[in-house]
A and B are shown apart, each in its own frame.
Chain A
Amino acid sequence: MNGSIFGFLFLMWILILIGGGIAVTILGPISITGYGDLDPLINSIVKGGIAISLSFIWIFVLTKLKNLIFRKTFNF
Chain B
Amino acid sequence: MTELIVPGIITSVIAFFTVYFSMPPLIKILHKNNQAVRDIHKKGEVMVVRPAGPSLILGVIASEAVLYAFLQLNEILAIIFTTAIAFLIGYVDDKRVMGGWFKPIGLAVAALPIIFLGAYESDLAFPLFGAVQIPILYIAIIIFMIVITGNTINSIDVANGIASGFMVISGFSLSIALFILQNYEIAIASLPLGFIALAFYKYHKIPSKIFPGDSGALTFGAMYGAIAIVGQVEVIAAVALLPAILNSFLFLASVKRIVEHRELNHKPVELTEDFKLRATNDKKARISLVRLIVAGKALSEREVAIAIFKLALFSGVLAIITAFMMEVKLQ
A and B pair up? yes
* B-binding residues in A (CB < 8 A): 1-2, 5-6, 8-10, 12-13, 16-17, 20-21, 23-25, 27-28, 40-41, 44, 47-48, 51, 59, 62-63, 66, 70, 73-76
Judged by a CB distance under 8 angstroms, whether B140 is at the interface is yes
Contact partner of B287 (CB less than 8 A), chosen from A12, A59, A74, is: A74
Q: Give the dominant DSSP class at A's interface.
A: helix
- By a beta-carbon cutoff of 8 Å, the part of chain B in contact with chain A is 124, 126-137, 140, 235, 238-239, 242-243, 245-246, 249-250, 253, 283, 287, 289, 292-293, 295-296, 307, 310-311, 314-315, 318, 322, 325, 330
Instruction: Pick the 5 closest A-B CB pairs, nearest first.
Output: A20-B126, A44-B136, A24-B129, A1-B307, A21-B129
Sample of 10 further A-B pairs with CB below 8 A, known A9-B246, A9-B311, A24-B131: A1-B296, A2-B293, A2-B295, A5-B289, A24-B126, A28-B133, A44-B137, A47-B137, A48-B134, A59-B249
Q: What is the CA–CA distance of A67 and B314 in the complex, to the nearest angstrom?
A: 22
| Also in contact, A9 and B314, with CB within 8 A (given A17-B127, A17-B128, A20-B129) | yes
B310 touches A1 (CB 8 A): yes
Q: Which residue of A lies closest to B243 (CB)?
A: A9
B60, chain A: closest CB distance, angstroms: 28
- Nearest chain A CB to B302's CB is how many angstroms away? 13
In the complex, what's the smallest C-beta–C-beta distance from B249 to chain A, in angstroms? Answer: 7
A16 touches B238 (CB 8 A): yes
